């Protein structure tokens, strides 16, 4: 197996990982009840955060923040895959 082959397979693997991470970013949710419970630990049992609650019981703001973290990981994995693919292509042109 040549270095070009290793780089190509590495890119394929990283693209696969990034696809899974992006898929996960669309499916993660944070429960509104969990956000409220965490808020009450800090601010007292009679307090509550300002929330936008989805039909599925998820907190919109917390869910978007979590999805953003997953998307960031997917973007990094894609960037690594693109670098590996670029290196494999560069070795192919020589």
Compute the C-alpha angle 67/35/48, nearest 5°.
Answer: 140
Predicted confidence at residue 36, as pLDDT, reads: 86
Predicted confidence at residue 51, as pLDDT, reads: 82
Token pair in block for residue 91: 């070795």
Predicted confidence at residue 94, as pLDDT, reads: 59
- Banded model confidence at residue 16, pLDDT cuts 50, 70, 90: very high
Place of tokens 């936008």: 52
Compute the C-alpha angle 31/35/37, nearest 5°.
Answer: 110
Predicted confidence at residue 24, as pLDDT, reads: 95
Nearest one of 70, 71, 65, 62 to 30, comparing CA atoms: 62
Average pLDDT over residues 19-40: 91
Q: What percent of the chain has pLDDT over 70?
A: 98
Distance between CA atoms of 34 and 68, rounded to whole angstroms? 19
What global pTM score does this model have? Answer: 0.79
């Amino acid at each position: 197996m040549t270095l070009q082959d290793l780089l190509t397979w590495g890119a394929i693997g990283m693209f696969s990982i990034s696809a899974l991470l992006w898929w996960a970013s669309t499916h993660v949710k944070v429960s509104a009840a969990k956000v409220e419970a965490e808020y009450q630990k800090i601010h007292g049992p009679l307090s509550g955060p300002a929330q936008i609650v989805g039909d599925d019981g998820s907190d919109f703001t917390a869910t978007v923040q979590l999805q953003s973290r997953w998307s960031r990981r997917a973007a990094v994995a894609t960037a690594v895959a693109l670098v590996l693919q670029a290196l494999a292509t560069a070795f192919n042109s020589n």
